[in-house]
Structure 1
Amino acid sequence: MGFLGKRSRDSHKGDNGRVLVIGGSEDYVGAPALAGMAALRSGCDYVVVACPSNAAWSINSLYPDLITKKLEGNFINWDNVSDLIEMSEDFDVVLIGNGIGTEESTMDVVKELVERIPDFKVIDADGLKALKDAEFVNTVMTPHAGEFEIMADEDISGKSREYKARLLQAYTKKDTVILLKGNTDIIASDEKFAYNNTGNPGMTIAGTGDVLAGITAGFLAQSKDMFKSAVNAAYLNGKAGDYLLRQKGYGFTASDMLDVIPAVKKRIIRWR
């Protein structure tokens, strides 16, 4: 994973990537925590999770490595917008959507954030539902097939991977990348596409998508390259799942994946 570059011995906290995760709600606490920890496990220096205060306190007790910004309300709402936009200016990447829920006002807020934050963004999970009519740049989207069908208003079930790749390229705007999750992941920009075949059926468990989004955001914060970050995140996420399948069989969890990401990443670098 040489695209991440070599770290300077003189680097300080934050020099190797800063990620802001905007997500969580009254019902979904684990998703933004998994995403935030995955960003850290990818090698990113500094991660803050901005979420409703009740969820934030739970995240603090689960993962002391994560800093939380405690927002008013049980879900992200219009009262939070100005604070979130101001916060985003201090980060390399903003990851939006993990556990954010589908409240109508929250979807409007996500659209506002995506359009007003000019810097790198990764959009995942329910956050993707707000993108249909939004105008945005510098964005990596990480949908599964069902989410992409809503975004593109097209049924892709039963279609070949070549058809899907062409469709993704046609849908993708300039300065955006789509990572379509599936048995074979497809990563596309308006200029190129790639396939990823790592991973296994054990990764259908809840939370693996949050981990993938976090790795993508972490890689992007370190490299500033959207396409390479998405390709390498898909590969590493799948390799972590493959390692756990060999070690534990079916029944491993997304939290288990967090524990092995650094070692699997190190092994990949050694192989290459």
Structure 2
Amino acid sequence: MLRSKTQKEILQMSKSLVQPLLPNFHKGQAGRIGVIGGCEDYTGAPFFSCHSAALLGSDMNHIVCEKLAAPTIKSYSPDLMVHPYLYELSNPEIRSRLTKDEYESLSKKSTEEILKGHDKLDELIDSFVLPKVLQLLNRIEITIVGPGFGRDPLMLKTLLRIIEQIKVMNKPIILDADALYLLTVDTKLIKNYEKAIITPNVVEFDRLSKALNIPSVLNETDFDKIVECTERLSRELGNVTVFHKNRKDVIVKKDETLVNDFKGSNKRVGGQGDTLTGAIATFVNWSYHYENNLWDTSDHNRLSHDVSLVIACFAASSVVRLAMSKAFAKYKRSLQTSNIHEFLGEAYVELFGDTDEFKL
């Protein structure tokens, strides 16, 4: 059982999953990650997720966002590929295709109504969104869904449809932010889909627990109870991986549980969770590459799927927490998420060493 091991032992094990840089690798083999999210009001969240993945070593990193959000996100960095494939209901291109009554009716739909049946929203998605999104999803290995999505009816229905398509493709998916809101409304959304990872913070975890009739741990002082409830949430969802962001991160997959209490930052700012999600995507993607023997792993004791998945999440948590600690030491109360990104590379090297030498 992993929980009986020290943090130092877990980090040593996680080095087996760190993908080396080899001269025979071509662009994309160290990771092709997609972030689906970002609307006109929330552009930072998908950027931080995608940028974090890039800084930690993923080769090709895509953001699929609402059309009006794309120019802003593109302006943050030329290193990420930004695709303006999503639409809010109020987008002029969509609004022009709806009558006044249709627009008002769709705008007033509850989330529960949005999730039911096939309606005008689906027609718009089938015509304007899915053709382009599906082409990109075919090239992506692991997808983060939810950052900066917002609660627009068309966006939420699009999120549902994209999650369904990823499940059909049998690819790993990480649900964060507004995707977790969708999950509280429909807890069957990713039930029994074992390639799913959810990353709730304390408040999101409380909402999910209530939706599944699990006792609340929002103000719980007994940390063992928090761990127990996290394990129960994973079971109730059909053994999906749960990464419970708390004062100590709790990571659960079937019979494996890890707790990470590495020192982080004493200041909390918006975007830190998005940075973590991008890191998780990178390390988890490498764990799948490890399982597929993309590089020579004959010198290591083989790790099982569940163990490698949990360790990958632990490694991501550790590198982000160390970067947060370093950033806080420099910036104190003025710390912002972009400052954490300054230290991701340094934190990575400190934890995993210089693994970037060519191995001929």
TM-score between both structures, scaled by the size of structure 2: 0.71
Q: For residues 271 and 66 of structure 1, what CA distance do their matches in structure 2 show?
A: 25
List aligned pairs for 1:1-272, cutoff 5 A. Answer: 1-2=14-15, 3-74=17-88, 78=125, 79-117=128-166, 118-131=170-183, 132-135=187-190, 136-153=193-210, 154=214, 155-159=216-220, 160-172=222-234, 173-174=237-238, 176-224=240-288, 225-270=308-353
Aligned counterparts of 1:11 and 1:53: Cα–Cα separation in 2? 34
Say which SS state the counterpart of residue 21 (structure 1) adopts. Answer: strand
Q: Whole-Å Cα distance in 1 between the matches of residues 131 and 194 of structure 2?
A: 20
Name the CA distance, whole Å, in 1 between partners of 2:343 and 2:264.
16
Distance 1:15 1:251 in 2: 37
- For residues 18-74 of structure 1, give each alpha carbon's deviation from its aligned partner in whole angstroms, at most 9, with x where no partner exists: 001100011001111111100101111110100012211111111100111112523
Q: Distance in 1 between matches of 2:206 and 2:156?
A: 18
Asked if structure 2 preserves the Cα contact closer than 8 Å seen for 1:138 and 1:175, the reply is: no
Match of 1:250, SS? helix
Q: Is the 8 A contact 1:140 1:230 kept in 2?
A: no
| C-alpha separation in 1, matches of 2:159 and 2:67 | 18
RMSD of Structure 2 on Structure 1 (CA): 2.2
The answer (yes or no) to whether the contact 2:206–2:218 under 8 Å persists in 1 is no
CA offsets, 1:221-259, max 9 Å, x none? 222243222111111111111111222223211111112
Aligned residue type for 2:68 = N
Task: Tell me the secondary structure at the aligned position of residue 50 of structure 1.
Answer: strand
**Cα separation, 2, equivalents of 1:60 and 1:270:** 32
In the other structure, the counterpart of 2:302 is none
Q: Is the 8 A contact 1:16 1:45 kept in 2?
A: yes
**3-state SS in 2 of match to 1:249:** helix
Equivalent-residue separation in structure 2 for 1:12 and 1:170 (angstroms): 41
Q: 1:199 to 1:142 in 2, by over 3 A?
A: farther
Which amino acid is 1:114 matched to? I
Cα deviations across residues 156-210 of structure 1 (Å, max 9, x unaligned)?
Answer: 1232221122222222145521111111111111211111112445341111011
Specify whether residues 108 and 72 from structure 1 end up closer, same or farther in structure 2 by C-alpha distance, changes over 3 A only: closer
5+ residue gaps, structure 2: 1-13, 92-120, 289-307, 356-360
Partner amino acid, structure 1, of 2:353 = R
Contact 1:170 1:190 in 2 (8 A): no
Runs of 4+ in 1 over 4 A off after TM superposition: none
Structure 1 gaps, min length 5? none
Of residues 36-45 and 166-175 in structure 1, the stretch that sits farther from structure 2 once superposed is: 166-175
